[in-house]
């Protein structure tokens, strides 16, 4: 064994030894939860009372629908009337265009590499990148088309299956705007033809025929 490998072996065993035993604050009596019972203080409480004039950090999250996408445990079917995006309060009923633009920008930036810009689950990562255990969800299934909008907020907030939560990289407002945009994506890829008037149905047929002809032209072999 060379001198340097002996030194390496020695260093290695010292670090394993050092990491293996905790003689520090790791092993010490402590209160793991605030407001635990104790005999240490005369009031029997492990937490000290807050001094007068203490200012709360953040704000209480009392609006259940806004922060969880549920009311009384049930998924909400509409986005909240007001959300904050880019530091500004926006009325979602009056300014839907603004919400959708914001949702589109955020979706393309942080979801599309997996889910694809159409939300069909065919993003670059799914096609060529990481070998994912399960493919990213395709939003254009009957199940997800019928899902209350609160589900999308919930999936982003808490994660879903193998998908990690998106809350650390989004604000509450971002997540509602993205949920609204997912609905727009779903509508862009699916139309219930029975809801069309005769005139709209006619327009639809003409558009479809034009599209078919254009595709045929595009797919002609180039000689």
User: Which residue's CB is nearer to ligand HEC, number 155 or number 172?
Assistant: 155
Residues 166-195 that bind ligand HEC (CB under 6 A): 166, 178
By CB under 6 A, tell whether 132 contacts ligand HEC. yes
User: Which residue's CB is nearer to ligand HEC, number 32 or number 134?
Assistant: 134
- Using CA atoms, how far apart are residues 223 and 221, in angstroms rounded to an integer? 6
Give the range of 12-20, 66-74, 107-115, 201-209 binding ligand HEC by CB under 6 A.
Answer: 107-115
- Neighbouring residues of 60: CB distance < 8 A, sequence distance ≥ 6: none
Alpha helix stretches (DSSP H) within the chain: 3-20, 64-68, 96-110, 112-115, 124-128, 142-146, 149-158, 172-189, 198-219
Give the range of 36-44, 67-75, 131-139, 214-222 binding ligand HEC by CB under 6 A.
Answer: 131-139
Least distance in Å: CB of 171 to ligand HEC? 11
Residues 136-155 that bind ligand HEC (CB under 6 A): 136-137, 152, 155
Q: In Å, how far from its chain's centre is CA 219?
A: 38
CA distances from 78 to 1, 70, 119, 135 (A): 71, 10, 20, 28
Give the range of 8-16, 20-28, 44-52, 108-116 binding ligand HEC by CB under 6 A.
Answer: 108-116
Least distance in Å: CB of 188 to ligand HEC? 16
By CB under 6 A, tell whether 118 contacts ligand HEC. no
Q: Contact at 8 Å (CB) between 99 and 107?
A: no
Residues in the chain: 223
CB-based closest residue to ligand HEC: 161
DSSP for 92-152?
A: TTT-HHHHHHHHHHHHHHHTHHHH-TTSSS--HHHHHS---SSPPPPS-SHHHHHS-HHHH
Least distance in Å: CB of 195 to ligand HEC? 24
- Using CA atoms, how far apart are residues 99 and 84, in angstroms rounded to an integer? 10
Tell me which of 134, 146, 216, 220 binds ligand HEC, using CB under 6 A: 134
Residues 36-95 that bind ligand HEC (CB under 6 A): none
Which residues bind to ligand HEC, rule: CB under 6 A?
110-111, 114-115, 125, 132, 134, 136-137, 152, 155-156, 160-163, 166, 178
């Amino acid at each position: 064994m060379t001198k340097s490998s002996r030194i390496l072996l020695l260093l290695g065993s010292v670090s394993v030894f050092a990491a293996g035993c905790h003689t520090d604050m790791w092993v010490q009596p402590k209160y793991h939860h605030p407001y635990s019972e104790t005999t240490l203080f005369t009031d029997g409480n492990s937490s000290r009372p807050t001094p007068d004039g203490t200012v709360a950090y953040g704000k209480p999250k009392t609006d259940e629908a806004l922060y969880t996408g549920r009311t009384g445990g049930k998924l909400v079917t509409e986005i909240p009337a007001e959300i904050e995006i880019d530091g500004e309060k926006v009325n979602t009923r009056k300014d839907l265009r603004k919400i959708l633009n914001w949702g589109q920008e955020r979706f393309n930036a942080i979801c599309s590499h997996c889910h694809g810009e159409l939300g069909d689950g065919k993003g670059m990562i799914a096609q060529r990148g990481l070998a994912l255990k399960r493919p990213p969800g395709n939003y254009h299934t009957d199940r997800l088309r019928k899902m209350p909008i609160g589900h999308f907020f919930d999936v982003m907030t808490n994660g879903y299956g193998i998908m990690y939560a998106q809350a650390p990289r989004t604000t509450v407002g971002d997540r509602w705007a993205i949920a609204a945009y997912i609905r727009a994506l779903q509508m862009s890829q699916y139309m219930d033809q029975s809801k069309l008037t005769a005139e709209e149905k006619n327009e639809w047929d003409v558009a479809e025929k034009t599209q078919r002809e254009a595709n045929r032209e595009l797919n002609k072999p180039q000689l």
